[in-house]
Amino acid sequence: MVQGTASGVGKSLIVAALCRHFKKRGLKVAPFKSQNMSLNSAVSVEGGEMSRAQYIQSIACEEPPSVKMNPILLKPEIDGSQVIVFGKPYGHFGAKDYMYSKKEEFFSLALESLNFLILSHDVVVIEGAGSPAEINLKAHDIVNMSIAKAVNAPVLLVADIERGGSFAQIVGTMELLEEDEKNLVRGYIFNKFMGDKSLLGDHPDMIAKRYGMSFFGTMPYVKHRIPEEDSMIDWHTKEKGDLNVEIIHLPHLSNFDDFDPLLWNTSVRFVDEGRLSGDIIIIPGTKMTIEDLEWMKRSGLDVEVKKAAKNGAYIIGICGGYQILGKEIKDPESNKKIDGLGMIPVDTEFEPEKIVSNLKGRELFSGKNLLIEGYEIHHGKSYCTSDPAPFATVSDVNGKAVSYGDGYMKGRIFGTYFHGLFQNFDFTQEFLNSIRRSKGKEEKVIERISLIHEIDVFTEIFEQNVKIKAIEEEL
């Protein structure tokens, strides 16, 4: 089990590296995290919703992504979280209600999943959440030491040395653990180090000796292109490329890794106020469509999007952004109804059942009918109120043949439910080059990134900088 001294120390990537290492050794490996809080989710092989982090770790293992790898997913909302259990919506809970009312039941479900993975795999690499030393929360813990103790898992602690105070992180964590918990901690690593490792001297080993554990090494800061968790997203402008992309930074923006290929190939700016002047304006997915639409209207960005369209910008809506581009959004449960931006003739009505699917189809924007793959995660259905003009035709949903139109397009405006659209590199290259042609610019070949290659590169750096043999011996 990999636990951290705090949130954002890099646990997810360390788990992915361990998973990949054991897979390359010929073992059958699975990741596991009993509970994850994230708006960045993916669709499992069962057609359920799971955390993007465990989805990526499953790729490292070359195993089908399963909700058993992340049985409980919390998706933050305005006054609490939507709780997803085994890929399906379970209910909405405030923080205290969730902590005190359902933890025993959810802990039992988590152990059920974990034991299934243990019995069907050679190695299971478990990820913790936040810190195991939050003494105010430990009585209701279902994701850190309670899991480790339940299956007697040896624990590897990860501290983020980039933030400073890394020795204190380790000492503070160990001091706040109970004796039986300390006995499970086999050692620790420093993560995200920049500089000369010799400056650490023998102090890491001194701390390890104090607590009867090992210091497994120092992982350098690694620039990579593996999608991060929500808390790690970098909203700064990316100064590259000859096309300017502006993404509306909605308060409840979800699945932000949709836009990674644009970060690699264009100049991207995340916008939460002010004037829009990009070649491409994107309204992304959101967990709270109506609330984020209201925010856009308060901030004046609704007017800015319409101005940008009149000035010739391409306007794209993904999932919730697609709904926002339409004429009207209705939520019967809350009895809310709100006018959208009215830029496409589409009405949306929310429904109790969430639609969660893996998708395949062909886009109709480029005129080349390029194959696209992706996924959809949304409440509600959208209906065209005039002649249909779909963005894509869908031919496969969760492995079953279908035939229907997705989204809507009109000139330089389109909306779609396809998350992961820009990971289809043939489409992305054609899309960007069509804009370059319209501006009299030279066409370009985009940079195409293989996720498994990125994981392999990160794993190789991990293997070179930590005592991987010593970690193996603890198993």
Secondary structure (H, E, C), 50-80: EEHHHHHHHHHHCCCCCHHHCCEEEEEECCE
Q: Which pLDDT value is given to residue 230?
A: 54
Domains, the chain, ordered by start: 2-225+453-473 (3.40.50.300), 236-448 (3.40.50.880)
- The alpha carbon of residue 277 and the mean position of all alpha carbons in its chain are separated, in whole angstroms, by 28
Who contacts 15 (Cβ-Cβ below 8 Å, separation ≥6)? 2, 31, 57, 125, 126, 127
Instruction: Tell me the C-alpha distance between 417 and 355, whole Å.
Output: 10
Query: What is the pLDDT at residue 137?
Result: 85
Cα gap 30→118, rounded to integer Å:
8
Rg (CA), the chain: 23
Residues 34 and 109 sit within 8 Å (Cβ to Cβ): no
pLDDT for position 50: 95
pLDDT at 232: 42
Place of tokens 């070179």: 464
Q: What per-residue confidence (pLDDT) applies to 231?
A: 43
- Both tokens of 324, joined, read 């926002």
SS3 338: strand
127 token code pair = 């990820």
Mean pLDDT by 10 residues, the chain (475 residues): 95 97 98 92 94 96 97 86 91 74 88 97 96 90 95 97 92 97 97 92 96 96 82 51 94 90 93 94 95 97 97 97 97 91 96 92 96 94 94 95 96 96 97 95 92 96 96 88
Structure tokens at 340: 């959208």
- Residues 6 or more apart whose CB falls under 8 angstroms from that of 369 comprise 362, 363
Euclidean distance between the first and the last CA atom of the chain, given in angstroms as a whole number = 10
33, amino acid identity: K
Q: Round to whole Å and give the CA distance between 465 and 135.
A: 32
- Is 140 a residue of the active site? no
Q: What is the pLDDT of residue 91?
A: 85
CA distance 251 to 292: 6
The two beta strands, 392-397 and 400-406, are antiparallel
Query: Which residues pair with residue 373 across a beta bridge?
Result: 360
d(CA 182, CA 155): 9
> For position 455, what pLDDT does the model report?
97
In this structure, the number of other CB atoms found within 10 A of the CB of residue 228 comes to 21
Indicate which residue of 21, 121, 378, 419 is catalytic: 419
Distances (CA, A) of 235 to 26, 58, 239, 272, 294: 39, 27, 12, 11, 22
> What six digits make up the tokens of 273?
């106020």
Cα(157)–Cα(215) distance, integer angstroms = 10
Catalytic pick among 61, 319, 378, 379: 319
21 given a catalytic annotation: no
User: If DSSP states are collapsed to H, E and C, what string results for 134-193?
Assistant: CCCCHHHCCCCHHHHHHHCCCEEEEEEHHHCCHHHHHHHHHHHCCHHHHCCEEEEEEEEE
Query: Do the beta carbons of residue 321 and residue 340 sit within 8 Å?
Result: no
Residues 6 or more apart whose Cβ sits within 8 Å of residue 297: none
Burial class (CB in 10 A: 0-12, 13-18, 19+), 292: buried
CA 136 to chain CA centroid, Å, is: 27
d(CA 3, CA 249): 31
Torsion of CA 24, 29, 33, 34, to 10 degrees: 180
